[in-house]
Amino acid sequence: MGAPPGYRPSAWVHLLHQLPRADFQLRPVPSGFAPQEQEYQQALLLVVALAGLGLGLSLIFIAVYLIRFCCCRPPEPPGAKSPPPGGGCVTWSCIAALLVGCAGIGIGFYGNSETSDGVSQLSSALLHANHTLSAIDHLVLETVERLGEAVRTELTTLEEVLVQRPELVAAARGARGQAEAVAQQLQALAFWRGVPLSPLQVAEDVSFVEEYRWLAYVLLLLLELLVCLFTLLGLAKQSKWLVIVMTVMSLLVLVLSWGSMGLEAATAVGLSDFCSSPDTYILNLTQEETGLSSDILNYYFLCNQAVSNPFQQRLTLSQRALANIHSQLQGLEREAVPQFPSAQKPLLSLEETLNVTEGDFHQLVALLHCRGLHKDYGAALRGLCEDALEGLLFLLLFSLLSAGALATTLCSLPRAWALFPPSDDYDDADDDDPFNPQESKRFVQWQSSI
């Protein structure tokens, strides 16, 4: 099958498409895009389940590490003032993990923007295709109504004027028959009229889903950014309560990161299967949803020399009929106007109608050519299979970096917290506050001296 103009499956599409797939019984599943088949659905769900497995292993590792840290920590000697050895390394490892998380957030913002751009390109292509199909329907309807009005008025008036010349009436009736034949041929060219599938509705649905997807990722990215910044602030100020709150928030964001990683991986795998050979699936789906013949769909989706124009015969017959009407009107003008001057007005009106109809016919021929709709098809594939897929891969990298950074942070924060000086809880207390332990001690010493 011919590829749309400017679209070739990328290296990422080929790489992801070659990855092995398996169902819940771990039986191999073909990598062809078949979302309606249960085995293929299970293969994508298994990709999501792998992310869930990664989350479970991360939580188990963090729990074991923290239990070992809390239960197996050697007791500090009484009166020890200096921090245990390795404390600075723990703090800096936590800071390094948070900085890696911040870098991942930047990658996530870029990936979210790329995905949004790809989906926007898809929506724009669908809207342009809808405009072309609507223009075809409108042009056919307008032309048929104009020809019908000419048959009912000008040609009827012309026949009444020429009633005394049977041969001229026969010529007028011949023009009537040709005009009715053209109208009948043109009506069959509005192939999308009455089709339940609307590209406009599809574009609106895609834009609606993308708007909420983009917003959800922006909120996730901002949440993780705030967690990283406030965690760094807590470490800098050695604030225990802030570190405790950020530890809980880090655990929440860790779960969200692994969840988004599963969705991104499954979507990227499914999208790569679709983009490796999109024509077959799109043809079958469009034929199922619209009921159009395979000749019409192959012409627009493939648009190559091997596929003929399914409307060529009707266009040729219509063009010949318009030429015949034109010659018949010219003959009537030469024969009838000298003898019947009142026939000149309906003939001139018919000539004007015929000229407008021929102009619309040439515009209709250009709109029916496969070039325009096939170009929209290629633009939609490029947006979905290049920009959107690339954005998904960047989002996948963000989730991976985020999960690793947060897991490291969750392991490091309790150890960093243990290094905070005991006076941390009273750093912000007022020096004149009687409940401040330092002030209370000075007060007792003053009373003893008295």
Span of 97-101, 160-164, 248-252 with lowest mean pLDDT = 160-164
Ramachandran angles phi, psi of 22, nearest 5°: -150, 155
Whether 241 is covered by a domain: the verdict is yes
Candidate ranges 11-25, 182-196, 253-267, 314-328; pick with highest mean pLDDT: 253-267
Does any domain span residue 269? Answer: yes
Residue 394 to residues 268, 300, 340, Cα–Cα distance (Å): 11, 33, 79
Residue at 6 is within a domain: no
Judge whether 81 lies within some domain: no
Confidence of residue 329 (pLDDT cuts 50, 70, 90): confident
State how far the Cα of 304 lies from the Cα of 306, in Å rounded to an integer.
5
State the first-to-last Cα distance of the chain, in angstroms, to the nearest integer. 102
Residue 270 in domain: yes
Inform me whether the pLDDT recorded for 298 exceeds 50.
yes
Which domain covers residue 406, as residue numbers? 11-71+99-420
What is the rounded CA–CA span in Å between residue 155 and residue 157?
5
pLDDT tens readout for residues 213-230: 999 999 999 999 999 999
What totals of helices (H) and strands (E) does the chain contain, helices first?
14, 0
The residue among 329 and 363 whose pLDDT is bigger is 363
Q: Is residue 80 part of a domain?
A: no
Tokens 């008036």, located at residue: 157
**Domain assignment present for 93:** no
Q: What is the pLDDT of residue 202?
A: 94
- Quick one: CA torsion of 243, 248, 251, 255, rounded to 10 degrees? -140
What average pLDDT is seen over the chain?
Answer: 85
- Separation CA 150–CA 355 (nearest Å): 12
3-state class (DSSP) for residue 78: coil
Instruction: Render pLDDT for 364-398 as a digit per residue (tens, 0 to 9).
Output: 999 999 999 999 999 999 999 999 999 999 999 99
Q: How confident is residue 448, by pLDDT bands cut at 50, 70 and 90?
A: low
CA distance 262 to 260: 5
- Banded model confidence at residue 429, pLDDT cuts 50, 70, 90: very low
Number of domains within the chain: 1
CA dist 383 and 3 (Å) reads 15
The conformation of residue 22, written as its DSSP 8-state character, comes to B
Length of the chain: 450
Would you place residue 162 in the very low, low, confident or very high pLDDT band (cuts 50, 70, 90)?
confident
- Kindly provide the b/e burial profile for residues 209-228, where b requires at least 16 CB atoms within 10 angstroms of the residue's own CB: ebeeebeebeebbeebbebb
Nearest-angstrom CA–CA distance, 320 and 114: 51
pLDDT of residue 84: 52
Residue 76: the pLDDT is 54
